[in-house]
Amino acid sequence: MESSAQCAMCKAVVENGDPSLAEGVNDGIAYLMVFPYLLIGVLFYSLYRYKKNYKN
């Protein structure tokens, strides 16, 4: 199984480590990917509510 990583050291550690380490790295990457989208969603939702309340 081929894995991609941000740097050569990270890739080497994940390839040679145990599977739980690789799972932890993948979970961390997923967390880092989701968090900015969540913040943007909250921002747009709050702007939507602000504009909706401003019209009334």
Comparing 6-10, 44-48, 49-53, which segment has the lowest mean pLDDT?
A: 6-10
Predicted TM-score (pTM) above 0.75: no
pLDDT of residue 55: 79
Domain extents for the chain?
8-55
Give CA 18 to chain center in angstroms: 22
Rounded mean pLDDT of 17-46?
A: 90
Burial of 2 (0-12, 13-18, 19+ CB in 10 A): exposed
- Judged against a pLDDT cut of 60, whether residue 3 lies above it is answered with no
